[in-house]
Amino acid sequence: MPIRLHVFVSSAKHAIHSSVFIFQFIAFHFSPLLIHLSYFVIIDVLGFVVLMSLKPSNPNYSPRHVDMFFLSTSAVTVTGLAPIKMEDLSSSQIVVLTILMFLGSEMFVSLLGLLHQWSKENKHDPEDSRVRSVIIHDESQVEEAIPATQSTNSNGLEKSCLKYLGLVLLSYMVMILLVGSLLVFLYIAHVSSARDVLSRKTINTMLFSISITVSSFTNGGLIPTNESMAAFASNQGLLLLLAGQILAGNMLLPVFLRLVIWALRGLRITRAKPEEFELMMNNTKAMGFKFNHLRPKLQTGFLAATVAALTAVAVVLFCCLNWDSAVFAGLTSSQKLTNALFMAVNARQAGENSVDCALIAPAALVLFITMISVPRSLTSCL
């Protein structure tokens, strides 16, 4: 037995070292496009293999390879398309899909990009090596050394900003996912109508809370229920919680990130300098990394106002077109407004629905198609 354990540990270490070597080789020798493509292809294929190796919860269901590959691709690319009934999947498969949505989310990929850029800056710093090669023999060479020193200081500031920005993004994601999962769990535990839905579908409450939070925050759109959130149409608190998570991970992400950095600067709980906070908040391009999740103050204000205006217009039009139709059958006035808000928020590419989309008025569908088609970059500049 000890010999087998030793062989297993040695094999595991060898596999880990080989994987690290492969990823380092890809990261430092491939172009950004190939790195991006390799990352998604590797994660997609691994997800497909793991999904196929796990048995579904429905013993009578035998998934096709193409369905599992499509589902893995949908999770990694956070598109929210499922070719099968989600309730046929086992808890282990739901866990795999949740991990795939997180690994393929825009925020996590951006975090990897920040870490990659920071690693490259630390691995090779031509400005710093140039300064070290400057030897000042007399007064005439001082003027040549000053610009190089200034470049080194600027380069050091950019590297420290990359590090702090990565920590901010990581902390933001962990905080939203942990707090969001806890709030969803507590809501379901204290509201019998939501708890009964999961009991009837034999879905674990903790697993559902984590999965729905990751799906909402990453805008993945894959939920363990067959009818998405339509089974929870009367649970206003749950829909509002998820709507907030969707906005925190999508259109209002630049706003919330800016608020987090502003709070850190005010509380002074980090070692970051004022100029580092200023660079992160107002001039991310100077760090040598294209980080679209942080924008200047004016653009951030326009983004918040635009998102609020578009959401309000969508809610009003959706209610006007569907108020007395079968879409809102059995719901109170406040529940109708909450569901309209949830649908309006999800129109920005989150992929969840709390009502039957087949019953929605055609004009409302055209409105949602229009909102989905508007790129985020254009919305932030309106």
Residue in the block written with tokens 């709507």 = 243
pLDDT at residue 240 in the model: 94
Q: What's the farthest any 2 CA atoms get from each other in the chain?
A: 87
Cβ count near 124 (within 10 Å): 10
Residue type, 170: L
CA trace torsion 15, 20, 26, 29 (10° rounding):
-130
Question: Which token pair is 28?
Answer: 């430092």
C-alpha neighbours within 13 Å on the C-beta side of residue 72: 23
Residue ranges per structural domain of the chain: 31-104, 174-381
Residue type, 70: F
CB within 8 Å of 197: residues ≥ 6 apart: 225, 231, 232
In 3D space, the residue among 156, 139, 172, 357 whose CA is nearest the CA of residue 262 turns out to be 172
Cα(122)–Cα(268) distance, rounded to whole angstroms?
Answer: 26
Reduce the DSSP state of residue 133 to 3 states and report it: coil
C-alpha neighbours within 13 Å on the C-beta side of residue 27: 17
Mean pLDDT by 10 residues, the chain (382 residues): 57 62 62 80 92 88 90 90 89 94 88 74 52 42 46 58 79 92 95 93 93 92 89 93 91 85 73 68 60 76 88 90 89 93 84 86 83 62 50
pLDDT at residue 75 in the model: 92
Q: Dihedral sign, CA of 81, 82, 87, 89?
A: negative
Reduce the DSSP state of residue 156 to 3 states and report it: helix
Cα 6–Cα 10–Cα 12 angle in degrees, nearest 5: 115
In 3D space, the residue among 1, 86, 8, 103 whose CA is nearest the CA of residue 46 turns out to be 103
What end-to-end distance do the CA atoms of the chain give, in Å?
Answer: 66
